[in-house]
Amino acid sequence: MSTVRLYAEDLRPGVVFDLGGAKVSREEILDFGRRFDPLPLHTDEDAAAASRFGGLIASGFHTLAVLQRLLVDAVLSRAAVIAGREITSLRMLAPVRPGDVLHGTMEILEVRPRDDGTAAVRSRGALTNDSGTVVLELQGETLWEHRPPGGREGGTA
């Protein structure tokens, strides 16, 4: 388990986290599609080739899962996050194809203290492919803990 180093007090509107990147493989697209979104666009290369997309594409939910993984690895694994509350907007803007490298960002939009001693954090996440096209955008809200009394300062946001 990692040490918590990032609390609600460390976040400011306008801060953008670089989440790094991930390559999406043909095998991952097929596996995710077969398991969770078994439409021919995600599971059958011949059917996908005959579609308007001209080939295999990742499920939008697979793409969303890539963003979540990047977010956990880069930020949430060291953050005092309690839970996700809502996704207020989710846009799947362009297809993700085998071999695409997706780069993630998360921007803090608002940090709002709540009566229960937590903070509601609104943020915007995005994935961009290696051609610079935004393939997914979302806005959502998570609950964060405040730094405990006597807790060390030193967040990185």
- Look-up of token digits 């918590």: 4
Question: How many Å apart are CA 122 and CA 108, to the nearest integer?
Answer: 6
User: What phi and psi values does residue 63 have, to the nearest 5 degrees?
Assistant: -60, -40
Per-residue tokens: 66:
């890539």
Per-residue tokens: 151:
């807790």
Task: Look at the domain 8-145 and name its fold.
Answer: Thiol Ester Dehydrase; Chain A (3.10.129)
Per residue of the chain (157 residues), give pLDDT as tens: 457 789 999 999 999 999 999 999 999 999 999 999 999 999 999 999 999 999 999 999 999 999 999 999 999 999 999 999 999 999 999 999 999 999 999 999 999 999 998 999 999 999 999 999 999 999 999 999 999 887 665 554 5
> Dihedral of the CA atoms 48, 54, 56, 60 (nearest 10)?
-100
Q: Residue 5: which residues within 8 A CB-CB, separation 6 or more?
A: 78, 79, 154, 155, 156
Buried b (16+ CB within 10 A) or exposed e, 21-43: bbebeeebbbebbeeebeeebbb
Q: Residue 147: which residues within 8 A CB-CB, separation 6 or more?
A: 7, 8, 9, 10, 80, 153
Q: Residue ranges per domain, the chain?
A: 8-145
Query: What's at 43, amino acid-wise?
Result: T
pTM flag (> 0.85)? yes
